[in-house]
Amino acid sequence: MHNGTTKPWSKSNRPSLRQIQGDSFVKWQGLRLLEDQLRELRQRNVPLRVITTTYLGATDARALDALVDEFGAQVRVNYETNRTRLHAKAWLLRRNTGFHTAYVGSSNLSHAALVDGLEWNVRLSAVSTPHLLEKFRATFESYWENREFELYLPSTDGNRLRAALDVAAGGRRRDGVTITLSGLEVHPKPFQEEMLEELDAERVLHDRHRNLIVAATGTGKTVVAALDYRRLVRERHGRDLKLLFVAHRKEILMQARRMYQEVLTEPTFGELLIGGDQPTKWRHVFASIQSLSAGRLATIEADHFDVVVIDEFHHAEAASYRRLLQHVRPMELLGLTATPERGDGVDVREFFDGRVAAELRLWEALEQHLLCPFHYFGVHDAVDLGALQWKRGGYDSSALSALYTGNDARTRIVLKELRDKVADVAAMRGLGFCVSIEHARYMADRFNTGGVPARAVSADTLVAERAAALKALRDREINILFAVDLFNEGLDIPEVDTVLFLRPTESATVFLQQLGRGLRLTAGKTVLTALDFVGHQRREFRFDQRFRALTGLSRKQLMRQLDRGFPFLPSGSQIVLDSVSRKLILENIRQQLTPRWAALVSEVRAHPNDSLSSYLDDYGRGLEDVLRTGRSWTTLCRDAGKAAGSPGPREDALVKRVRTLAHVDDQRRRAAYLDILNGTARPATASEERLAQMLFFSLFPDGGGFDSTAAGLAAIKGEPVADEMRQVIDIAFDSARRSTYPLGERILELSDVPLAVHASYSREEILTALGFASLQRTPSTMREGVAWCESANSDAFLITLKKTETDYSPTTMYRDFALSRTLFHWESQSTTSSTSPTGQRYIHHRQRGSHILLFVRESKTNALGTSPYVFLGPADYVSHEGDRPMAITWRLRQAMPTEVFMASRAAVA
């Protein structure tokens, strides 16, 4: 508490001050109380940095103007208040002595907080709580470097700040329809940036130009499409590209054109083709599907449009959409949908070779406040499904329907749980997902009898009847609709606040689509209540896929979080399982965590071919299921009676190393490794020889007893496991989601080093590529996280963000982290001082002509074993603090991938 204790601005806090950093609302009356102290700080040239926000309109623009103009402060403002609600009140006083102090609590920079308010604040010191001060500093620096916090200059930004504060305080609102542009450059949010990077990788890395984006309704798919178009125009092609944007409603077309105008800062961009609106230039057309009749399409050349975007792509099976798809031949086709799997069995991914290029994952949308939080309850319903037939990846629907329809005991449980979990059943708008129309009608009948007005609908329900049922739900004439095979517009009611899962849903995609019917944000809805009725399932049923889709966790992480009650869900969301459901789900996931060998053999025996990729897709398996320690596809096929050849002399050793190839994600390395394994490689250059050595040490990290790498690679050719290696490499590359470029393109001196920036590498590959490893000094002998590679004139830093496998320890938590996509904070070895030869090489590397190369991984291990590193590329020295160890800030020459940034930034979040 601050009354009676030393305050941040007192005289005792001012000697030896080097810098002040603060997060706060800033009020004029509070600032005036500190006028003398602030003026003194400016006279002594003590830097003052402040971050604040327009949230609630609480900050005074006049106060920020004074901070900058009168007191020389640097101020950054976050203008985004819908999803970013900075509410921190904290100050860090950094001293030349190293005895830094922080104050964290409830006090803003206001008169009430500084004089007579009942405030709670905590004083932190570098002596007693150094790790908390380091956390403060790291978090502040990451915010400061975040482009959402924009530098504030009163002369140029004053009007914008005042308008934003007025809106945030509940004043006038922006007209979302006007064509007057904001004049501000639209930047992608991190989740959108990641989707754009994945789209780019599909095109550049895999040469795929028919791509599908999947994201829930209302989460900004059109923004991503517009940003993607801007990148194609400005970065990939350098010229204007003809655009066709197709949707089925004028409202969507108007909103989409507006978004493209904002992103491109072109207020006249785009022409409409709908109703009476007709294009004259035909360069950028926003058209309704109804306007693109067969006759109209016949007048448009198939390749007239360079880019075609189809919104709500799940309509694509309709004749008009199919006709359009068969006619146009653009350079880039982009589909946008919230529902890739439809209730009629159509999967729109079939138009994209079964692939999704980029997907906004549920937990990311929740963290961005793009969707309504959910409370998910797993409820045991006492139904045993173990005796039901399992075919084609799911339960027999007719048998499932017979088991549920007429089951009054189960229905009583459903009604009881509904009344227990929903605050006011009479006010709810609910959806119940059933296995059949008979089941849906039965549930509606029992609910009506039980006093909860209900109806049943299905894909076969007449359009007028379905519309009437939806209106009745929206108007609360009924409280629940029981549905069959309706996942998209058929049940598009943003007001839905309750969903009941009344049948086991095998597809995680369909499960998310059903849940998504209630996740739309709308006025008055604070949370979605989801009740999932869980019975005794067959062994084949996969709870892990459902909960991984909900949380984004691996199976191992899922087990741990299930056991702890899911403490780390996005804000506002909860998963609650009753004791029986929790036990059943844990046991089911435990079985999937380490599938029995006999079960895998049985699956492979039933599979029609010996393609590893096909098997993984058909059975929903991951490489970790097959390549876990002691396992391999080769031995699995052999045990299943598939031709795999007799074991070679080195098979036992090699099968343990196949998983080290499961991260190959750049084209050059993939081609080189496959050529070597096929016996067609003839290394002719230094870099090709290095690539051969990289494969050799991946498989034989201790040298394998060979007197040359050529001898070791020759020994592999006759091994049956070589075919498995080829398949694993192809699977790894096929799933690569980051564009890469050769290091030698940026640093000619390193053109013989066969590394690609943003690709993934093992320690063995890194050290070999940089000339550090040889048969005389194998990679297995090097355990440190730093290596001076003299032949490449480079320092390689191998950075693991999470220092322990369970949790961070307070003293290691904030050593290595990203400040932004181009700035990285790194701590040297504890023996390195700034005056040592090594420290001097780090500081003066550019003058001396040496290179700094950064490699980062989140943790030491993953589902396959040892985690690879992502190569962030070359970096340059910016600054450092301290000695033994040195805390150095590096500037990357190429921005790190968003996925990596989010993981490394998370260490300080």
- Kindly indicate the confidence band of residue 176, based on its pLDDT and cuts at 50, 70 and 90: very low
Q: From the CB of residue 243, how many other CB atoms can be counted at a distance below 10 Å?
A: 24
- Kindly indicate the confidence band of residue 809, based on its pLDDT and cuts at 50, 70 and 90: very low
Q: Check pLDDT > 60 for residue 376.
A: yes
Beta strand 358-359 pairing with 210-214: parallel
| pLDDT tens-digit map of 197-228 | 999 999 999 999 999 999 887 788 899 999 99
Among 597-611, 691-705, 754-768, 809-823, the least confident range: 809-823
**Mean pLDDT within 40-49:** 88
Round to the nearest angstrom and report the end-to-end CA distance of the chain. Answer: 25
Token pair for 735: 């799933």
- Kindly indicate the confidence band of residue 81, based on its pLDDT and cuts at 50, 70 and 90: low
Q: Provide the pLDDT for residue 114.
A: 58
Which of 655, 606, 596 minimizes the C-alpha distance to 627? 655
Greater confidence (434 vs 631) lies with 434
Inter-residue contact 210 to 329 (CB < 8 Å): no
- Kindly indicate the confidence band of residue 26, based on its pLDDT and cuts at 50, 70 and 90: confident
Instruction: Give the Cα separation of 559 and 590 in Å (integer).
Output: 7
Asked if residue 190 has a cis previous peptide bond (ω within 30° of 0), the answer is no
Token pair for 257: 């054109």
Mean pLDDT for the chain overall: 87
Instruction: Give the Cα separation of 721 and 716 in Å (integer).
Output: 8
Residue whose token pair is 């403060």 = 136
Identify the three-state secondary structure at position 179.
Answer: coil
CATH T-level fold of 11-168 = Endonuclease; Chain A (3.30.870)
Q: Check pLDDT > 70 for residue 173.
A: no
Residue 787 neighbours by CB under 8 Å, 6+ apart: 767, 770, 772, 795, 796, 798
Question: What's the CA dihedral at 691, 696, 699, 702 to 10 degrees?
Answer: -130
Q: Check pLDDT > 60 for residue 585.
A: yes
Identify the three-state secondary structure at position 394.
Answer: strand
- Kindly indicate the confidence band of residue 92, based on its pLDDT and cuts at 50, 70 and 90: confident
| pLDDT tens-digit map of 653-708 | 999 999 999 999 999 999 999 999 998 877 789 999 999 999 999 999 999 899 99
Q: How many residues does the chain have?
A: 909
Which DSSP letter does residue 186 get?
P
Among 232-241, 348-357, 894-903, the least confident range: 348-357
Q: Check pLDDT > 70 for residue 12.
A: no
Extract the runs of DSSP E, i.e. beta strands, from 248-354: 271-273, 284-288, 307-310, 332-337
| pLDDT tens-digit map of 739-757 | 999 999 889 999 999 999 9
The one-letter amino acid at 852: I
Q: Check pLDDT > 70 for residue 576.
A: yes
604: part of which helix (H) or strand (E)? Answer: helix 597-606
Instruction: Give the Cα separation of 771 and 656 in Å (integer).
Output: 25
| pLDDT tens-digit map of 827-843 | 999 889 999 999 999 99
Instruction: Give the Cα separation of 453 and 477 in Å (integer).
Output: 7
CATH 1.10.357.10 is right for the domain spanning 371-593: no
Greater confidence (165 vs 13) lies with 165
CATH 1.10.3470 is right for the domain spanning 784-908: no
Which DSSP letter does residue 309 get?
E
Q: Check pLDDT > 50 for residue 808.
A: no
Inter-residue contact 396 to 593 (CB < 8 Å): no
Q: Check pLDDT > 60 for residue 556.
A: yes
Outline where 278-339 has alpha helix (H). 294-298, 319-327
Instruction: Give the Cα separation of 321 and 307 in Å (integer).
Output: 16
Among 30-39, 169-178, 288-297, the least confident range: 169-178
Residue whose token pair is 């109804």 = 290
Q: Which of 84-88, 346-350, 692-696, 879-883 has the highest mean pLDDT?
A: 692-696
Angle at the Cα of 203 from the Cα atoms of 199 and 209, rounded to 5 degrees: 95
Q: From the CB of residue 215, how many other CB atoms can be counted at a distance below 10 Å?
A: 25
Which DSSP letter does residue 380 get?
E
Angle at the Cα of 691 from the Cα atoms of 685 and 696, rounded to 5 degrees: 130
Instruction: Give the Cα separation of 242 and 308 in Å (integer).
Output: 9
Q: Provide the pLDDT for residue 821.
A: 93
Query: Domain 190-360 maps to which CATH number in 3.40.50.300, 3.30.1490.20, 3.40.50.200, 1.10.600.10?
Result: 3.40.50.300
Q: Check pLDDT > 50 for residue 100.
A: yes
Q: 224-227: which pairs have CB atoms within 8 A and are 24 or more residues apart?
A: 224/188, 224/192, 224/195, 224/196, 224/358, 225/256, 225/309, 225/311, 225/334, 225/336, 226/186, 226/256, 226/259, 226/260, 226/262, 226/263, 226/264, 227/186, 227/188, 227/192, 227/196, 227/263
**Mean pLDDT within 399-426:** 95
The one-letter amino acid at 882: G
Give residue limits of the domains in the chain.
11-168, 190-360, 371-593, 646-757, 784-908
Extract the runs of DSSP E, i.e. beta strands, from 515-616: 528-536, 574-577
Q: Which of 490-494, 663-667, 678-682, 712-716 has the highest mean pLDDT?
A: 663-667
Which of 717, 885, 905 minimizes the C-alpha distance to 811? 885
Instruction: Give the Cα separation of 11 and 2 in Å (integer).
Output: 15
Inter-residue contact 241 to 307 (CB < 8 Å): yes
Q: Provide the pLDDT for residue 793.
A: 95
Angle at the Cα of 208 from the Cα atoms of 489 and 737, rounded to 5 degrees: 85
| pLDDT tens-digit map of 502-534 | 999 888 888 888 898 899 888 889 999 999 999
Q: Check pLDDT > 50 for residue 813.
A: no
Q: Provide the pLDDT for residue 86.
A: 64
Hey, do 190-360 and 371-593 end up sharing a CATH topology, with the first three levels equal? yes
Residue whose token pair is 């994945």 = 198
Q: Provide the pLDDT for residue 812.
A: 47
Question: What Å distances lie between residue 614 and 88, 393, 517, 608, CA to CA?
Answer: 51, 15, 32, 9
Q: Check pLDDT > 70 for residue 21.
A: no
Instruction: Give the Cα separation of 555 and 545 in Å (integer).
Output: 9
| pLDDT tens-digit map of 758-799 | 999 999 999 999 999 888 888 888 878 899 999 999 999 999
Inter-residue contact 397 to 598 (CB < 8 Å): no
Q: Provide the pLDDT for residue 646.
A: 83
